Amino acid sequence: MLPHLTVRKEVLGHRVAAAETREASAGTLLPDAAEPVREPQAERRVVVRAVNLGKVFTSSFTARKKWAVRGLNLEVFEKEVFGFLGPNGAGKTTTIKLLLGLLRPTYGSIEIFGTGPASPASRAQVGFLPENPSFYDYLKLGEFLRLCASLSGLRRRREVERRVAESLFVSGLIDHEDVQMRKFSKGMLQRAGLAQALVNNPRLLILDEPMSGLDPIGRKEFRDSIVRARENGMTVFFSSHIIADVELLCDRVGIINNGVLEKSGPIGELVQQEVRSVEIVARDVAEQAAVQLEPFVEERRTVGDAVVLRLRDELATTLVLGTLASSGARILSVTPHKETLESVFVRQVTRSSLSRASGADGTLPGEGRKKRVFRREWSRL
Amino acid sequence: MKVLAIARNTFREALRDKALYVIVVFSLVLLVSTRILSPLALGEGVKITKDVGLSALSFFGILAIIVMGAGLVHKEIDRKTILVILSKPVARHEFILGKFLGMADALAALVVVMLVTLEVVLLLSGRGPDLPVLKAGFLTFVELLVMTSIAVLFSSFSSTGMSAVFTFAFYVVGHFSSDMLVFAARLQSSFARQVCQFLYYVMPDLELFNARAIVVHGGDIPDERMLAATAYGLLYTMGVLVLSAVIFSRKDFK
B5, B83, B250: residue with CB nearest A151: B5
In the predicted structure, residue B187 carries a pLDDT above the cut 50: yes
> Chain B contacts of A103, Cβ < 8 Å?
252-254
Highest mean pLDDT out of A26-35, A178-187, B118-127: A178-187
| B13-48 pLDDT per residue, tens | 998 888 888 888 988 888 888 878 777 766 677 888
Nearest CA in chain B to A200: B88
Query: Quick check: B81 and A102 CB within 8 A?
Result: no
- What confidence score (pLDDT) does residue A248 get? 84
Cα dist. A203→A125, A128, A129, A152, A197 in Å? Answer: 5, 11, 14, 13, 11
Question: Is a pLDDT exceeding 50 seen at residue A9?
Answer: no
Give the model's confidence band at A362: pLDDT under 50 very low, under 70 low, under 90 confident, else very high: very low
CB contact under 8 A, B87 and A123: yes
More confident residue, A301 or A378: A301
The residues facing A48 across adjacent strands are A76, A112
Kindly give, in sequence order, each residue whose CB lies less than 8 Å from that of residue B155, ignoring residues fewer than 6 positions away: B69, B70, B71, B72, B73, B74, B163
| Closest chain A residue to B18, measured at CA | A138
Contact B5 A128 (CB under 8 A): no
For residue A35, pLDDT over 80 is answered with no
Q: In chain A, at which residue ranges do the beta strands (DSSP E only) sit?
A: 46-58, 65-77, 81-85, 107-112, 126-129, 204-208, 235-240, 252-257, 260-266, 277-283, 297-303, 306-311, 330-337
| Domains contained in chain A, CATH given | 44-270 (3.40.50.300), 275-338 (3.30.70.980)
Does residue B93 surpass a pLDDT of 90? Answer: yes
Report which of B51, B71, B57 is spatially closest to residue B23, judged by C-alpha positions: B57
Question: Among A97-111, A172-186, A293-307, B74-88, which is the least confidently predicted range?
Answer: A293-307
Per-residue pLDDT at B200 exceeds 90: no
- According to DSSP, the residues that pair with A83 across neighbouring strands are A238, A253
Provide the pLDDT for residue A21: 42
Is residue A134's pLDDT more than 80? yes
Does A20 score more than 70 pLDDT?
A: no
Cβ-in-10-Å burial (0-12, 13-18, 19+) of A263 comes to middle
A166 pLDDT above the threshold of 50: yes
- The arithmetic mean of pLDDT across residues A168-185, rounded, is 91
CA angle B60, B64, B68 (to 5 degrees): 170
Beta carbons of A150 and B87 less than 8 Å apart = no
Chain A residues whose C-beta sits inside 8 Å of any chain B C-beta? 57, 97, 100-104, 120-124, 126, 128, 130, 132-136, 138-139, 143, 147-148, 150-153, 155, 193, 196, 200, 206
Are A139 and B9 a contacting pair at CB < 8 A?
Answer: yes
Higher pLDDT, B48 or B5: B5
Task: Band the pLDDT of A110: cuts 50, 70, 90.
Answer: very high
Query: pLDDT per residue over B110-143, tens digit each?
Result: 999 999 988 888 888 777 788 888 999 999 999 9
Q: Which residues pair with A207 in a beta bridge?
A: A129, A238
Under a CB-based contact definition with an 8 Å cutoff, are residues B166 and B254 in contact? no
- To probe the interface with B, which of A151, A180, A194 has the most B CB atoms within 10 Å? A151
The pTM of the full predicted model, rounded to 2 decimals, is: 0.81
Mean pLDDT of A111-120: 91
Greater confidence (A381 vs A70) lies with A70
Task: Tell me the backbone φ, ψ of residue A37, rounded to 5 degrees.
Answer: -80, 105
Question: How many CB pairs lie under 8 A apart between chains A and B?
Answer: 78
Q: Does A10 have pLDDT greater than 80?
A: no
Mean pLDDT of A355-360: 60
Write the pLDDT tens digit of every residue in B207-241.
999 888 888 888 888 889 999 999 999 999 999 99
- The percent of residues in chain A predicted with pLDDT above 90, rounded, is 34
How many residues are recorded in chain B? 254
The complex scores an ipTM of 0.87
Q: Among A99, A132, A103, which residue's Cα sits nearest to residue A117?
A: A99
Query: What are A347-356's contacts with CB under 8 Å, separation 24+?
Result: A348/A255, A348/A257, A348/A262, A348/A263, A349/A86, A349/A87, A349/A255, A349/A257, A349/A262, A352/A257, A352/A258, A352/A260, A352/A262, A353/A257, A353/A258, A356/A258
Mean pLDDT, rounded, of chain B: 89
**Model confidence at B76: pLDDT above 50:** yes
- CB atoms closer than 10 angstroms to residue B120: 14
Averaged over A19-29, what is the pLDDT? 39
Average pLDDT over residues A154-183: 92
Q: Which of B1, B81, B250 sits opposite A150 (nearest CB)?
A: B1
> CA A308 to CA A237: how far, in whole Å?
42
Reported confidence tier of residue A34, pLDDT bands at 50, 70, 90: very low
Confidence of residue A25 (pLDDT cuts 50, 70, 90): very low
Mean pLDDT of all residues in chain A? 80
Distance between CA A72 and CA A51 in Å, rounded?
Answer: 6
> Residue A211: pLDDT band by 50, 70, 90 thresholds?
confident
DSSP secondary structure letters along chain B:
-HHHHHHHHHHHHHHT-HHHHHHHHHHHHHHHHHHHTGGGGTT-HHHHHHHHHHHHHHHHHHHHIIIIITTTTHHHHHTTHHHHHHTSS--HHHHHHHHHHHHHHHHHHHHHHHHHHHHHHHHHTT----HHHHHHHHHHHHHHHHHHHHHHHHHTTS-HHHHHHHHHHHHHHHHHHHHHHHHHHH-S-HHHHHHHHHHHHHS--GGGG--HHHHHTT----HHHHHHHHHHHHHHHHHHHHHHHHHHHT----
With an 8 Å Cβ cutoff, are A102 and B252 in contact? yes
pLDDT the model gives residue A358: 60
The per-residue b/e assignment along A342-366, b for 16 or more CB within 10 angstroms, e otherwise, is bebbeebbeebeeeeeeeeeeeeee
Tell me how far CA of residue B196 lies from CA of B188, B189, B191, B192, B199, in angstroms: 12, 11, 9, 6, 5
**Confidence (pLDDT) at B209:** 92
pLDDT of A373 over the 80 cut: no
pLDDT at A32: 42
Which of A236, A258, A142, A241 has its CA nearest to residue A195?
A: A142
